[in-house]
Every structure is written in C-alpha cells, then in structure tokens.
Amino acid sequence: MTAFPVSDRTSSLRIAPGPVDLGSIDTDAAPGYDGNKTTGAEDLIAMGPELADLQERLWADGKAEGKRNILLVLQGMDTSGKGGTLRSTVGLVDPQGVRITSFKAPTEEERAHDFLWRITNALPPVGVIGVFDRSHYEDVLIARVRSFAEPDEIERRYGAINAWEADLAANGTTIIKCMLHISAEEQKQRLLDRLEDPAKHWKFNPGDLDERAEWPAYREAYEIAIERTNTEVAPWHVIPADKKWYRNLAIGTLLLDALKSLDLDWPKADFDVAVEKQRLADEKPL
Amino acid sequence: MTAFPVSDRTSSLRIAPGPVDLGSIDTDAAPGYDGNKTTGAEDLIAMGPELADLQERLWADGKAEGKRNILLVLQGMDTSGKGGTLRSTVGLVDPQGVRITSFKAPTEEERAHDFLWRITNALPPVGVIGVFDRSHYEDVLIARVRSFAEPDEIERRYGAINAWEADLAANGTTIIKCMLHISAEEQKQRLLDRLEDPAKHWKFNPGDLDERAEWPAYREAYEIAIERTNTEVAPWHVIPADKKWYRNLAIGTLLLDALKSLDLDWPKADFDVAVEKQRLADEKPL
C-alpha cells in the first residue's frame, strides 16, 4: 500500500482560501502519491473492503436514527471522467447505500423554482452516500458562461450556495466537493477517441464542441466559483484528472477519509439480545 | 467457466405453470451448476465484464430513445439474502445504470393509493436496470398472512398484478421475478448469527421472530402468489438460496441472460462523424 494518508491528501488536493489559478495546477500530476498506474489501480481496489465496511456502518447508523450522510459533488468539463469515477470508486461500496443523481438541463418544472430546489430534492437520506454528477454549481458555471441568468442573480447564488451548504453540514452531511481537472489537450484527445469508436458515438454530441470553444470562459467561471464557495465546512478539491487512475484513487481516498472521519460504531441493540436468543431456542416446530 | 447456459438455467430455476410446491424444491441445491463455492464465486466475477458491457449498451440504447429496461424483483423471507445478492451481482455493473428500491411498510400517503401506485412510481426509466428489494408481492404475501386486506381484495390483486406486468412487458420491460428460497433451519441459523455478532445487531428486529412464527402461512402465500402470477411474460424463478454463492451466481446469470436477450447494438451516430472530426482539427487555439 502506497496510498497517501489523510494529511497529505488534504494538503495536496484541498484548495487554499483566496483566488484560484487553475493554470498553476498540473492536470497530469499525481500529487501526494509515489506509485504508478499499476499500483494506483491496486491501491484503489485494496481500499474496497474498508470502504465497504465503513459505508455499512454509515448505513447502519442511519437505520438507528443517526443523522450522518455524505454528499460527493463531482464537477468538471465534458470527458473529465465524472462517470468513470463513479464506476471505479462508488462501485466499490454497496449500491443500496448510494444515491446518484446526474443533473441535466433543468426541466420546465425545475426552472419554475429556485435553482436549489431540484438539488435539495436530490439530497441523500441519512445513512446514504449521495453523489452529484454535476450539481448546483452548473448554475454558476454554464449559467455564467451562457448568460442563462443575470450577473446579479449569479452573484446572489454564491452566497445562497454557501448558506445552503453550511446548513447541510450543520445537519450532519459531510460535503466533498471535487473538480476533475483536465487539460484542453486531454479533452481534445478524449473527444477524438469518442469519434473514432462507434461504441462511443452515443456519448458524443456536437454541442460538446460548442461548449469546448468556451474553454477559457469556463476556466474563469470555475476559478470564481471555487474561490467564492471554498468554505471551511464545504471545501473544494481540485483533482488532476488527465491520469484516470490517479483521479479514481484520489476520489476513492477522499471518500474513505470522509467515512473514517465519521468514526462510526455499530449501533447498540435496542432489544434484549439474550431474550431474543431464548425465543429462538424455545420456538415450537414450524 | 462452468456457468450454466441459458437453457439449463431456465429449465432448472423457472417454475412451470400450475400448482407450486416449495417443499419439493431443495433449498440447499445448486441446480444446473457442476461447480462448488470457489468456482461459483469465480464464475460470477468472470461474468462482470460482459454484464458491464451489456448494461452500458442498455444505457446507451436508453439515451438514444430506445424503450428497453429491466426489472429484477427479489422476494424472500427475512435473511434470504436480498441485500447480499444486490451487493454481489448488481454491484458488478455501473451504479449509474441501476435503480434500487427497497419497499418497506407503506407510508400514509402510499396507503391512500392503490397498492400498485408506489410500485409504479419506482419503475426504472428506459436504459436502466431496476431492482426491487421486496415489491408489490408483499401486498399478496404479508397482506394475506397478516390480513392487512380482505380476501376479496387479495384475490383482485393477483389479476391486477398480471395485467400491470403484462403492460410493463408490452412497453419494453424485461421482468425477472425471483424468490430466494431458504429453509426454516437456515433462517434460524442466520438469525442466531445476527444475534451473536454485535456488528449485526442493527439488522435484527424482534418482530422478525414474529414473522418467522408464521413460516407455514408465508410458504402457502408464496405458493399461491407464484402460481397465480407465473405468466409467460413475467415468469417466476425459485432460487435455492441456502448457499449464498449459488444464489448470487444464479441471479447474476439470470441478469446476464436477460441483458443478452435484448441483443442491443451500440446506437448509430445521429451526427456526421467526419464533420465533427474536422471541426476539432480546425479549431482555433483555446
């Protein structure tokens, strides 16, 4: 095992308060990790049993009227690997204990509400790991780049997000916010790969290239959004994501750290164990 | 690979039309499979890549306006392993493509509707594998054993279920109905195991023993329900489930067979691939 400990992970991926310069963060790096592609994949798989055990404790805690849950927010440009991360890391725990929501363009009903309405509806119950594939951050990212909302409204949203996330955290939710950070060159290669492979054509949409053309505007929108919403209770992590194996290992480690930090014991029995054993011992033939 | 082919699986697990005698089905058997616990676990894992590939085809088909999906219904007495099956088999495919619903006692709102209302609400969208951990069958099982509904109403429900499932199937859903079949002795052992292990106390509820005391009534309710709803488009399978590894392998095989039977190709591109490649080649520096 060469997986990095909590402190190294935190110091290398967590974004410091203040202005954010994504250009200074190497998309092809593997901060805090000495291994390579092979060991990275092995180390992620090796986390599986502990992840599964801790997830079951969280689930059990929820059944026993605990109030804890986890919300993993994944943001990133097209092809940055939000879906692949889900398969590789979230796939390591019991699917019953996970609730995944992929946010698309809002429906008419959703647009008739505040932007946080549909997000709130998708929150995980207690005991569950919620995963957002895109999120309320689209409402300050694409909404800013494409002028889907007035500048005043975008401005209001940063504060609204911080208040909403603070409330979540105060209610027992551990929030993990991650931006999957790829280079424009890496995206180009991944889009070309999709075009080359008929089994991947369904993943491609010509509109993806229109979004790609706005790369600098998206970078700026991300930098502002991260700076404005990088709070103590809901900090941002930027994950170098050109290396898929590193991206998966990093997200897996963040999830593991979050679960560990809950320090959950198995719930105590709310019945008399000896009495129940005796009932079974004494039962009449069925 | 010693996994059993479709025809063997069908003939050994699928229940023939007519009266059902669960007592004649050995809960500890491994019908259609020559291997053992070790090979069974290996064969299930070996199915993973094909399951994942076929599930992705189903998902892609749904994105391309296909109408297909799968509904896996898991029924069985407490401790029969509905949850364990989910972890072991459904955990082999992309969690984004799966929608799991665990049905508990209906809420007040649910009770204010027909019994199929909450079930319909939980149906998977196109492209998705839906899994029901318990289902509408509780409304003819516990409802019959515990007299939660009048006999006339229970009687009505068998027909209502058949009509509802026929409609689902006609609309593109492949329905796989499985009863996880354990012996009363095996359940006793599993309940004792839960009582022995403090890490499993949260799974135990004294009410479980009250339900267990009704074992013969549940068996009869299952036999009637299976006979009355064992239709061509939504047939029942009874899975010997004392051996956990066999149970998992059998359900995995049923899921694989269902996915194979859809015979799905990757969706054709609805855009001009050459044009999009040229757009990427011609793009201005970002």
Using CA atoms, how far apart are residues A34 and A50, in angstroms rounded to an integer?
Answer: 21
Percentage of the residues of chain B whose pLDDT score is greater than 70: 96
Across the interface, whether the CB atoms of B94 and A100 are under 8 A apart is answered no
Distance, in Å, from the CA atom of A7 to the CA atom of B24, rounded to the nearest integer, reads: 59
Measured between beta carbons, which residues in chain B are less than 8 angstroms from residue A188?
280, 283
Question: What value of ipTM does the predicted structure carry?
Answer: 0.93
Per-residue pLDDT, A12: 84
Predicted local distance difference test score (pLDDT) of residue B155: 98
Measured between CB atoms, which of A86, A192, A276 is closest to B280? A192
Nearest to A94 among B87, B191, B206 (CB): B87
The DSSP string of B127-158 is T-EEEEES-GGGGGTHHHHTTSS-HHHHHHHH
Beta carbons within 10 angstroms of residue B18's beta carbon: 8
Residues of chain A with pLDDT under 70: 1-11
Category of A178 on φ-ψ map: left (φ > 0), alpha (ψ -120 to 50) or beta: beta
Strand order across the B129-133 sheet: B98-102, B129-133, B69-76, B173-181, B236-240
Residue among A95, A102, A206 whose CB faces B276 most closely: A206
The reported pTM is 0.95
> Chain A contacts of B95, Cβ < 8 Å?
86-87, 90-91, 95, 98, 100
Selecting from B95, B191, B266 the residue whose C-beta is nearest the C-beta of A201 gives B266
For residue B98, the chain A residue with the least C-alpha distance is A95
pLDDT digits (tens, 9 = 90+) for A222-251: 999 999 999 999 999 999 999 999 999 999
CB A70 within 8 A of CB A130: yes
How many contacts does A have with B, using Cβ atoms within 8 A? 118
- Give residue A158's pLDDT: 98
Query: How deeply is A94 buried, as exposed, middle or buried, from its count of CB atoms within 10 A (0-12, 13-18, 19+)?
Result: buried
- Cβ <8 Å between B87 and A64: no
Tokens at B137, concatenated:
């069958």
Contact map slice: B 203-222 vs A, CB within 8 A: 203-206, 209, 212-213, 215-216
Q: How far is B242 from chain A (nearest CA, A)?
A: 18
- Helices B151-170, B215-228: crossing angle, 10 deg rounding: 50
| B133/A96 touch (CB, cutoff 8 Å), yes or no | yes
- Per-residue pLDDT tens over the stretch B74-116: 999 999 999 999 999 998 999 999 999 999 999 999 999 999 9
**b/e per residue, A189-209, with b = 16+ CB within 10 A?**
ebbeebbeeeebbbbbeeebb
Cβ A201–B63 below 8 Å, yes or no?
no
What is the DSSP-derived secondary structure letter of residue A14? B
Across the range B128-155, mean pLDDT stands at 98
Q: Tell me the average pLDDT of chain B.
A: 95
Closest approach of chain B CAs to the CA of A246, in angstroms?
19
Nearest Cα neighbor of B166 from B158, B110, B256, B156 is B158
Q: Can you give the pLDDT at residue A9?
A: 61
Whether the pLDDT of residue B279 is over 70: the answer is yes
pLDDT of residue B9: 61
Q: Best residue in A201, A203, A205, A271 to probe B by mutation, most B CBs within 10 Å?
A: A201
Angle at CA of residue A185, ends A74 and A205, nearest 5°: 65
In tens, the pLDDT along B195-233 reads: 999 999 999 999 999 999 999 999 999 999 999 999 999
User: B75: distance to nearest CA of chain A, Å?
Assistant: 16
CA distances from B64 to A204, A205, B58, B68, B267 (A): 11, 12, 10, 11, 6
Q: Is A285 on the interface with B (CB under 8 A)?
A: no
- Average pLDDT for B29-52: 95
Tokens of B66: 């296909």
Selecting from A133, A195, A202 the residue whose C-beta is nearest the C-beta of B276 gives A195
The pLDDT score that the predictor gives to residue B1 is 37
Q: How confident is the model at residue B8 (pLDDT cuts 50, 70, 90)?
A: low
Q: State the pLDDT at residue B4.
A: 47
**pLDDT beyond 90 at B255:** yes
